Structure 1
Amino acid sequence: MKKIYLLALAIGAFTLSANAQIIEDDIESYSLGPLFEDHWSSWSGAPGPDNAVVTDAFAQSGSQSVFIGGDGVQDALLLLGNQTTGTYELTFFMYIPTDKTGYINFQGATENGGAGAGGNGVFNSGNITFNLDGMNPGIVEDIDADGTVYNTYSYPQNFWFEVKFLFDLSALTYTLSIDGVDGAPVAFGADATVGGIDFFSIDANNEYYVDDVLFVDAAAGVDDFSASKFSVYPNPVQDILNIKSASSVDNVVVYDILGKVVLQENPGKISPAINMSNLPSGAYMVQVTIDNATKTVKVIK
């Protein structure tokens, strides 16, 4: 649900594992259709038309992702456990088709699996808009309902890109990063809780996809998850597939839809480029290995 500025309001569960991982979700374990299970809920806190939808239209990895369309009703919540102490990092990947819009916000304390404050929501961030009103393609704005613009970013249309939040519950700030670019820290807007992320259908032009969600205790370190910290582009690809990574990529194996290995390389460097020009058009699974951890993404040529 979009944050609406009201002066009166303006004045006014998960267990950590030893390796710091709280959520790692590639969306592959769910059936296609409405999603209301595990850490995926909705503004209403109940199954219904505001739920996210699992689709196989696009995927950053595997074959499925979460879809938020343009019906103005979908209002999905990714529940983060109402954390009140510590430092946490949330990353996920988004895909927004050319000229389409998108919207998310960061919620404080949730209630009964739905929006907090009696269903009104607890808005700890501004309205994080992608191509606001269809007038700013490729532009992200974190803007409060009173018009204050906290940060502005750019994103690639028609490609998967990384969205990252760093939540600091000591300083009560969040730092939003879009496609590898950090914004300035922003103070929590309402309470001192990391409750969830709201994925809302902001208008009829809204269309975006979410994949590969990772939520970790940043204070304990996130190095164990380096295999999840990469993206591939362009997708679809014509000749050169770029792998954007923070660590050295050890091995890349490309499989066709029959599971046959059609290309294999051992780059041994950060952010390598893979030449797929000799492969025929079609769907491929690209398996990337970083620091002995492996992850597979679907690529169209």
Structure 2
Amino acid sequence: MKKNYFLAVLFTFAMVSVNAQFTDDMESYTDGQPISGGHWTDWGCGGGAGCAIMSSSAQAHGGSLSGYVPDDTTTDAVLDLGNKIFGTWGLSFWAYVPSGKEGYYNLQGTVPIGPGEWIVGNIYFNKDNANPGVGEIDDSALGVVNFNFPHDEWFYVAMNVDISAGIGASTWEFGVNGNVAIPAGTAFTDNAGTYPTSLGGLDLFSINANHQMWYDDFTYQDSFVSMDPPLGVNDLAAKGFAAYPNPVSNILNLKANEAITSVAIFNILGQEVYNAKVNAVSSTVDMSSYASGAYFVKVNIGGTEGIVKVVK
């Protein structure tokens, strides 16, 4: 049964790879430099530091880099979701907000953003630094909706938008760490019932001088994402596990704060292509001879087991 469950997890990861519009583990950027191009843009502030999301090694969920929106009150980065008006769409990512700080973003109806179209109002994490561990969506179809999140650790954010009946009849779902705050089937509108022009993008704005929020491991796909965090990822992150670079060309580096017991790698068909006992806090795998594609690294750290995806 355990083997069948593991294969089912691999199948789920494989389907994400097939359906993905993009995945971004934030490892391809340069530490300390602004990120722009592709699915990363901004709200008309010209790019560069103080406008674009910044690559940062101060925090990372997987690997060694993440995207950072600081406390400068000017950064206004945008994650472009493609102005979708039909279909089913899922977005997931990991986020980090330190104690004593707050986070913020909003959903916009079109990208590039003109005057702005806040689909469900504002999404706060510890709004005004007055409610630690409490998030708020302030203008959803359900009115003000609160949710919980942890400070000082990475948390999983998931959102599904159903536009299969058209944008004028769209619904959505939203959750944090597997806890659903906006149930599936909720109208994708503000409290007045206004539907957006499209699913445009995320506006990651430095809303005040107390704002500090890191982002990592984005998946955006033309199917729904799971509201639950991927198997074992939270547990591996708690043990400081990282697999990098990702994408990898030749050598995959593995490290953790505790001894890695064993590592197995599977291809997209579920076939094991590598297996090793490690018993060390770091290891390397030579993937230079592997065919291009997605691979799934199954890691055991002192009995804690999880799977991460790497791309060759």
TM-score relative to the length of structure 2: 0.66
Q: Within 1, Cα distance between the matches of 2:17 and 2:219?
A: 16
Q: Displacement of 1:123 after TM fit?
A: 1.2
Amino acid at match of 1:96: V
Amino acid at match of 2:26: I
Q: Within 1, Cα distance between the matches of 2:229 and 2:102?
A: 29
Identity, in percent, stands at 29
Query: What SS class does the counterpart of residue 214 from structure 2 fall into?
Result: strand
How big is each residue's C-alpha offset from its partner over 1:113-165, in whole Å with a ceiling of 9 and x where there is no partner?
xx1xxx221111221000010000000110029xx843211001111111111
Matched, 1:210 2:215: yes
Q: Within 1, Cα distance between the matches of 2:263 and 2:17?
A: 34
Q: Displacement of 1:295 after TM fit?
A: 3.0
Residue 136 to residue 199, structure 1, CA distance change in 2 (3 Å):
same
Q: Within 2, Cα distance between the matches of 1:265 and 1:289?
A: 6
Give the conservation status (yes or no) of the 8 Å contact 1:159–1:235.
Answer: no
2:156 to 162, 165, 175: 162
Matches within 5 A, 1:142-157: 142-144=137-139, 149-157=143-151
Q: Within 2, Cα distance between the matches of 1:95 and 1:284?
A: 27
Residue 283 to residue 41, structure 1, CA distance change in 2 (3 Å):
farther
Residue 283 to residue 101, structure 1, CA distance change in 2 (3 Å):
farther
Q: Within 2, Cα distance between the matches of 1:156 and 1:233?
A: 15
Q: Within 1, Cα distance between the matches of 2:283 and 2:214?
A: 20
Give the conservation status (yes or no) of the 8 Å contact 1:23–1:216.
Answer: yes
Which consecutive residues of structure 1, in runs of 5 or more, have no partner in the other structure? Answer: 1-16, 242-253, 267-278, 297-301
How big is each residue's C-alpha offset from its partner over 1:29-74, in whole Å with a ceiling of 9 and x where there is no partner?
1122111111011111632331110101111111100001111101
Query: What SS class does the counterpart of residue 90 from structure 2 fall into?
Result: strand
1:173 to 152, 167, 171: 171
How many matched pairs?
Answer: 237
Residue 45 to residue 74, structure 1, CA distance change in 2 (3 Å):
closer
* Residue aligning to 2:203: 198
How big is each residue's C-alpha offset from its partner over 1:61-116, in whole Å with a ceiling of 9 and x where there is no partner?
111000011111011100011111011000000011112100011111113xxx1x
* Residue aligning to 1:24: 23
Give the conservation status (yes or no) of the 8 Å contact 1:255–1:263.
Answer: no
Matches within 5 A, 1:5-154: 19-32=18-31, 33-44=33-44, 46-48=46-48, 49-111=50-112, 115=113, 119-144=114-139, 149-154=143-148
Query: What SS class does the counterpart of residue 151 from structure 1 fall into?
Result: strand
Query: What SS class does the counterpart of residue 128 from structure 2 fall into?
Result: helix
How big is each residue's C-alpha offset from its partner over 1:247-289, in whole Å with a ceiling of 9 and x where there is no partner?
xxxxxxx9448xx9742278xxxxxxxxxxxx99x8899x853
Give the conservation status (yes or no) of the 8 Å contact 1:95–1:209.
Answer: yes
1:231 to 206, 222, 233: 233
Which consecutive residues of structure 2, in runs of 5 or more, have no partner in the other structure? Answer: 1-15, 242-252, 265-278, 285-295, 300-305
CA RMSD of aligned residues (A): 3.5
